[in-house]
Structure 1
Amino acid sequence: MSATYTGGCQCGQIRYKIGAEPLTLYLCHCQECQKQSSSAFGMSLTVPRDAVVIIQGQPKAWTRKADSGREVTCLFCGDCGTRLFHERTYSQETINVKAGTLDDTSWLRPVGNLWTRSAQPWVMISDEMLNYEGQPKDVRPLWEKWAEQHS
Protein backbone atom coordinates (compact mmCIF):
# COMPACT_ATOMS: atom_id res chain seq x y z
CA MET A 1 0.00 0.00 0.00
CA SER A 2 0.99 3.58 -0.61
CA ALA A 3 1.88 6.01 2.16
CA THR A 4 -0.37 8.67 0.56
CA TYR A 5 -3.95 8.22 -0.57
CA THR A 6 -6.04 10.78 -2.43
CA GLY A 7 -9.72 11.26 -3.04
CA GLY A 8 -12.52 13.72 -3.48
CA CYS A 9 -16.15 14.37 -4.22
CA GLN A 10 -18.00 13.50 -7.42
CA CYS A 11 -17.90 17.01 -8.91
CA GLY A 12 -14.22 17.58 -8.09
CA GLN A 13 -14.73 20.70 -5.95
CA ILE A 14 -13.28 19.01 -2.85
CA ARG A 15 -10.03 17.05 -2.86
CA TYR A 16 -8.19 15.48 0.06
CA LYS A 17 -5.13 13.41 0.83
CA ILE A 18 -4.37 10.94 3.60
CA GLY A 19 -0.75 10.82 4.70
CA ALA A 20 -0.84 7.73 6.92
CA GLU A 21 -1.82 4.10 6.71
CA PRO A 22 -5.48 3.37 7.56
CA LEU A 23 -6.33 1.81 10.90
CA THR A 24 -9.26 -0.30 9.63
CA LEU A 25 -12.03 -0.59 7.07
CA TYR A 26 -15.51 -1.85 7.91
CA LEU A 27 -19.00 -1.92 6.50
CA CYS A 28 -21.82 -0.33 8.49
CA HIS A 29 -25.35 -1.60 7.96
CA CYS A 30 -27.14 0.91 10.22
CA GLN A 31 -30.16 2.64 8.73
CA GLU A 32 -28.37 6.01 8.61
CA CYS A 33 -25.50 4.58 6.56
CA GLN A 34 -28.03 2.94 4.25
CA LYS A 35 -29.67 6.33 3.73
CA GLN A 36 -26.46 8.34 3.28
CA SER A 37 -24.99 5.83 0.82
CA SER A 38 -28.28 5.19 -1.01
CA SER A 39 -27.27 1.54 -0.77
CA ALA A 40 -27.25 -1.43 1.60
CA PHE A 41 -24.34 -0.20 3.73
CA GLY A 42 -21.66 2.46 4.11
CA MET A 43 -17.91 1.87 4.05
CA SER A 44 -15.77 3.58 6.68
CA LEU A 45 -12.00 3.78 6.44
CA THR A 46 -10.71 4.84 9.85
CA VAL A 47 -7.54 6.95 9.72
CA PRO A 48 -5.69 9.23 12.15
CA ARG A 49 -7.44 12.61 12.08
CA ASP A 50 -4.22 14.57 11.63
CA ALA A 51 -3.35 12.49 8.53
CA VAL A 52 -6.28 13.93 6.52
CA VAL A 53 -5.63 17.20 4.69
CA ILE A 54 -8.20 19.00 2.56
CA ILE A 55 -6.17 20.21 -0.43
CA GLN A 56 -9.02 21.85 -2.36
CA GLY A 57 -12.44 23.21 -1.41
CA GLN A 58 -14.19 23.25 1.93
CA PRO A 59 -16.73 20.62 2.98
CA LYS A 60 -19.98 21.54 4.68
CA ALA A 61 -20.89 19.92 7.99
CA TRP A 62 -24.07 18.45 9.41
CA THR A 63 -24.36 16.80 12.84
CA ARG A 64 -26.77 13.97 13.59
CA LYS A 65 -27.40 11.31 16.22
CA ALA A 66 -26.19 7.86 15.19
CA ASP A 67 -28.15 4.65 15.83
CA SER A 68 -25.82 4.19 18.81
CA GLY A 69 -27.10 7.48 20.31
CA ARG A 70 -23.74 9.22 19.83
CA GLU A 71 -23.23 12.34 17.73
CA VAL A 72 -21.59 12.16 14.31
CA THR A 73 -20.58 15.17 12.23
CA CYS A 74 -20.96 14.39 8.55
CA LEU A 75 -18.74 16.34 6.13
CA PHE A 76 -19.88 16.57 2.53
CA CYS A 77 -19.54 18.60 -0.67
CA GLY A 78 -22.03 21.47 -0.71
CA ASP A 79 -22.17 21.35 -4.51
CA CYS A 80 -22.67 17.68 -5.39
CA GLY A 81 -23.61 16.30 -1.95
CA THR A 82 -20.96 13.58 -1.81
CA ARG A 83 -20.39 12.39 1.77
CA LEU A 84 -16.63 12.48 2.42
CA PHE A 85 -15.98 12.03 6.15
CA HIS A 86 -17.62 11.20 9.47
CA GLU A 87 -16.21 12.79 12.62
CA ARG A 88 -17.27 11.09 15.84
CA THR A 89 -17.41 13.11 19.04
CA TYR A 90 -16.35 10.06 21.04
CA SER A 91 -13.18 9.49 18.96
CA GLN A 92 -11.30 12.76 18.52
CA GLU A 93 -8.04 11.15 17.36
CA THR A 94 -9.54 9.43 14.29
CA ILE A 95 -11.86 10.24 11.40
CA ASN A 96 -13.80 7.93 9.09
CA VAL A 97 -13.21 8.53 5.40
CA LYS A 98 -16.08 7.36 3.22
CA ALA A 99 -13.96 4.84 1.33
CA GLY A 100 -15.79 5.08 -2.00
CA THR A 101 -14.45 8.64 -2.39
CA LEU A 102 -10.85 7.44 -2.72
CA ASP A 103 -9.34 7.74 -6.20
CA ASP A 104 -8.22 4.09 -6.06
CA THR A 105 -10.57 1.68 -4.30
CA SER A 106 -9.16 -1.53 -5.80
CA TRP A 107 -7.13 -2.40 -2.67
CA LEU A 108 -10.00 -2.04 -0.17
CA ARG A 109 -10.89 -5.20 1.77
CA PRO A 110 -13.22 -4.65 4.74
CA VAL A 111 -12.48 -6.61 7.90
CA GLY A 112 -15.82 -6.24 9.66
CA ASN A 113 -19.53 -5.53 9.60
CA LEU A 114 -21.30 -3.25 12.10
CA TRP A 115 -25.05 -3.12 12.77
CA THR A 116 -25.69 -6.50 11.16
CA ARG A 117 -29.11 -6.60 12.84
CA SER A 118 -30.29 -3.95 10.36
CA ALA A 119 -28.48 -5.41 7.33
CA GLN A 120 -30.61 -5.99 4.27
CA PRO A 121 -31.72 -9.65 4.24
CA TRP A 122 -30.03 -10.31 0.88
CA VAL A 123 -26.58 -9.08 2.03
CA MET A 124 -24.20 -11.99 2.64
CA ILE A 125 -22.28 -11.51 5.90
CA SER A 126 -19.01 -13.44 5.85
CA ASP A 127 -18.01 -15.44 8.92
CA GLU A 128 -14.39 -14.60 8.05
CA MET A 129 -15.02 -10.99 9.08
CA LEU A 130 -15.61 -9.51 12.53
CA ASN A 131 -19.37 -9.04 12.84
CA TYR A 132 -21.30 -6.94 15.35
CA GLU A 133 -25.07 -6.75 15.75
CA GLY A 134 -24.74 -3.11 16.79
CA GLN A 135 -21.97 -0.69 17.72
CA PRO A 136 -18.91 -2.50 19.13
CA LYS A 137 -17.86 -1.37 22.59
CA ASP A 138 -14.21 -1.72 21.56
CA VAL A 139 -12.95 -1.10 18.00
CA ARG A 140 -9.46 -2.45 18.69
CA PRO A 141 -10.29 -5.92 17.30
CA LEU A 142 -11.16 -4.23 13.97
CA TRP A 143 -7.82 -2.41 14.03
CA GLU A 144 -5.97 -5.63 14.92
CA LYS A 145 -7.61 -7.63 12.13
CA TRP A 146 -6.76 -4.87 9.62
CA ALA A 147 -3.12 -4.78 10.81
CA GLU A 148 -2.93 -8.58 10.62
CA GLN A 149 -4.11 -8.55 6.99
CA HIS A 150 -1.79 -5.69 5.97
CA SER A 151 1.46 -6.70 7.63
Structure 2
Amino acid sequence: MSDWKLPWDAACLCGQVKMRITAPPMVAMACHCRACQRHSSSAYSLTLMIPADSFEVVEGAPVIGGLHRDQLQHSFCPHCKNWLFTRPQGRPFVNFRPTMLEDASWVQPYVESCVEDRLPGAVTGAKHSFEGFPPADRYADLMEGYAREGAKP
Protein backbone atom coordinates (compact mmCIF):
# COMPACT_ATOMS: atom_id res chain seq x y z
CA MET A 1 0.00 0.00 0.00
CA SER A 2 1.29 3.45 -0.89
CA ASP A 3 1.44 6.42 1.48
CA TRP A 4 1.26 8.76 -1.50
CA LYS A 5 -1.97 10.57 -2.25
CA LEU A 6 -1.93 10.57 -6.05
CA PRO A 7 -2.55 11.84 -8.68
CA TRP A 8 -1.23 15.38 -8.18
CA ASP A 9 -2.25 18.34 -10.26
CA ALA A 10 0.08 21.23 -10.92
CA ALA A 11 0.06 24.49 -12.85
CA CYS A 12 2.30 27.41 -13.65
CA LEU A 13 1.73 30.82 -12.06
CA CYS A 14 -0.74 32.02 -14.69
CA GLY A 15 -2.46 28.63 -15.05
CA GLN A 16 -1.99 28.27 -18.80
CA VAL A 17 0.15 25.13 -18.42
CA LYS A 18 -1.31 22.34 -16.33
CA MET A 19 0.43 19.10 -15.43
CA ARG A 20 -0.41 15.80 -13.72
CA ILE A 21 1.75 13.34 -11.81
CA THR A 22 0.49 9.79 -11.28
CA ALA A 23 3.41 8.03 -9.53
CA PRO A 24 5.49 8.87 -6.47
CA PRO A 25 8.70 10.83 -6.92
CA MET A 26 11.92 8.86 -7.07
CA VAL A 27 13.75 11.45 -4.94
CA ALA A 28 13.55 15.12 -3.88
CA MET A 29 16.69 17.18 -4.48
CA ALA A 30 18.04 20.69 -4.08
CA CYS A 31 20.80 21.80 -6.44
CA HIS A 32 23.08 24.66 -5.38
CA CYS A 33 25.07 24.92 -8.62
CA ARG A 34 25.53 28.39 -10.08
CA ALA A 35 23.50 27.47 -13.17
CA CYS A 36 20.49 26.48 -11.02
CA GLN A 37 20.91 29.61 -8.89
CA ARG A 38 20.78 31.80 -11.96
CA HIS A 39 18.12 29.70 -13.69
CA SER A 40 15.76 29.80 -10.70
CA SER A 41 16.71 33.29 -9.45
CA SER A 42 17.09 31.65 -6.04
CA ALA A 43 19.65 30.09 -3.74
CA TYR A 44 18.98 26.64 -5.22
CA SER A 45 16.57 24.76 -7.48
CA LEU A 46 14.15 22.31 -5.92
CA THR A 47 13.31 19.15 -7.87
CA LEU A 48 11.14 16.08 -7.62
CA MET A 49 12.48 13.35 -9.89
CA ILE A 50 9.34 11.81 -11.44
CA PRO A 51 9.18 8.69 -13.63
CA ALA A 52 8.76 10.05 -17.18
CA ASP A 53 5.77 7.85 -17.96
CA SER A 54 3.97 9.20 -14.86
CA PHE A 55 4.24 12.86 -15.81
CA GLU A 56 2.14 14.64 -18.41
CA VAL A 57 1.26 18.11 -19.55
CA VAL A 58 -2.55 18.06 -19.66
CA GLU A 59 -3.13 21.62 -20.87
CA GLY A 60 -1.04 24.25 -22.59
CA ALA A 61 2.20 24.01 -24.53
CA PRO A 62 5.46 24.59 -22.64
CA VAL A 63 8.40 26.05 -24.52
CA ILE A 64 12.07 25.15 -24.25
CA GLY A 65 14.18 27.81 -22.56
CA GLY A 66 17.11 28.24 -20.24
CA LEU A 67 20.43 26.89 -21.40
CA HIS A 68 19.11 25.35 -24.67
CA ARG A 69 21.35 22.31 -24.38
CA ASP A 70 20.54 19.10 -26.22
CA GLN A 71 21.07 16.95 -23.13
CA LEU A 72 18.71 19.01 -20.89
CA GLN A 73 15.45 20.47 -22.12
CA HIS A 74 14.20 23.06 -19.62
CA SER A 75 10.47 23.68 -20.11
CA PHE A 76 8.75 26.97 -19.31
CA CYS A 77 5.29 28.48 -19.59
CA PRO A 78 5.31 30.70 -22.67
CA HIS A 79 3.18 33.31 -20.90
CA CYS A 80 4.34 33.64 -17.25
CA LYS A 81 7.82 32.18 -17.91
CA ASN A 82 7.75 29.79 -14.91
CA TRP A 83 10.42 27.07 -15.04
CA LEU A 84 8.19 23.97 -14.89
CA PHE A 85 10.31 20.89 -15.49
CA THR A 86 13.43 19.56 -17.17
CA ARG A 87 13.70 16.50 -19.38
CA PRO A 88 17.21 15.01 -19.32
CA GLN A 89 17.58 13.33 -22.71
CA GLY A 90 17.85 9.55 -22.63
CA ARG A 91 16.74 9.34 -18.99
CA PRO A 92 13.52 7.70 -17.72
CA PHE A 93 12.57 10.62 -15.49
CA VAL A 94 11.52 14.26 -15.48
CA ASN A 95 12.91 16.80 -13.02
CA PHE A 96 9.72 18.54 -11.94
CA ARG A 97 9.58 21.85 -10.04
CA PRO A 98 7.42 20.96 -7.02
CA THR A 99 6.40 24.57 -6.34
CA MET A 100 4.01 24.10 -9.28
CA LEU A 101 1.98 21.56 -7.22
CA GLU A 102 -1.36 22.64 -5.82
CA ASP A 103 0.11 21.82 -2.39
CA ALA A 104 3.90 21.80 -2.11
CA SER A 105 3.97 22.39 1.66
CA TRP A 106 5.28 18.88 2.33
CA VAL A 107 8.23 18.96 -0.11
CA GLN A 108 11.65 18.79 1.51
CA PRO A 109 14.89 17.86 -0.23
CA TYR A 110 16.31 14.48 0.71
CA VAL A 111 19.51 15.14 -1.25
CA GLU A 112 21.39 18.36 -1.96
CA SER A 113 24.02 18.64 -4.66
CA CYS A 114 26.77 21.09 -5.55
CA VAL A 115 27.10 22.33 -1.97
CA GLU A 116 30.51 23.69 -2.99
CA ASP A 117 28.49 26.52 -4.62
CA ARG A 118 25.96 26.90 -1.79
CA LEU A 119 25.21 30.50 -0.84
CA PRO A 120 25.68 31.47 2.82
CA GLY A 121 22.51 30.82 4.75
CA ALA A 122 21.01 28.47 2.14
CA VAL A 123 19.99 25.60 4.39
CA THR A 124 17.81 22.83 2.94
CA GLY A 125 17.61 20.25 5.71
CA ALA A 126 18.58 17.53 3.23
CA LYS A 127 19.72 14.25 4.76
CA HIS A 128 22.46 13.72 2.13
CA SER A 129 24.87 16.36 0.81
CA PHE A 130 27.35 16.18 -2.05
CA GLU A 131 30.07 18.66 -2.99
CA GLY A 132 29.20 18.14 -6.67
CA PHE A 133 26.54 15.92 -8.17
CA PRO A 134 25.93 12.53 -6.53
CA PRO A 135 27.95 9.79 -8.20
CA ALA A 136 25.83 7.65 -10.55
CA ASP A 137 26.35 4.57 -8.37
CA ARG A 138 24.69 6.31 -5.37
CA TYR A 139 21.32 7.07 -6.99
CA ALA A 140 19.78 3.63 -6.36
CA ASP A 141 20.55 3.85 -2.62
CA LEU A 142 19.35 7.46 -2.45
CA MET A 143 16.07 6.57 -4.17
CA GLU A 144 15.54 3.57 -1.87
CA GLY A 145 16.19 5.76 1.17
CA TYR A 146 13.80 8.42 -0.08
CA ALA A 147 11.07 5.81 -0.62
CA ARG A 148 11.46 4.80 3.06
CA GLU A 149 12.27 8.11 4.75
CA GLY A 150 11.32 10.97 2.45
CA ALA A 151 8.57 13.48 3.17
CA LYS A 152 5.12 12.55 1.86
CA PRO A 153 1.97 14.64 1.55
Bin of the TM-score, shorter chain as denominator length: 0.7 to 0.9
CA-atom RMSD, angstroms?
A: 2.0
TM-score norm. by structure 1 comes to 0.88
CA deviations on 1:9-56 (whole Å, 9 max, x unpaired) are: 101100000011111101000111111211100001001001111111
Deviation at 1:65, TM superposition (A): 7.3
| 1:84 aligned partner | 84
2:104 matches 1:101: no
Paired with 1:4 and 1:124, the residues of 2 have a C-alpha distance of 29
> Please, which runs of 5 or more residues in structure 1 have no aligned partner?
none
Paired with 1:73 and 1:90, the residues of 2 have a C-alpha distance of 11
Alignment of 1:1-151 (within 5 A): 1-62=4-65, 64=67, 71-91=71-91, 93-124=92-123, 126=125, 129-138=127-136, 139-150=139-150
CA deviations on 1:111-139 (whole Å, 9 max, x unpaired) are: 0101100000222364x611111111222
CA deviations on 1:85-118 (whole Å, 9 max, x unpaired) are: 0111252x11110111111102212101011000
Paired residues of 1:64 and 1:71 also in contact (CA < 8 A)? no
- How many residue pairs get aligned? The number is 146
Paired with 2:42 and 2:24, the residues of 1 have a C-alpha distance of 27
TM-score norm. by structure 2 comes to 0.87
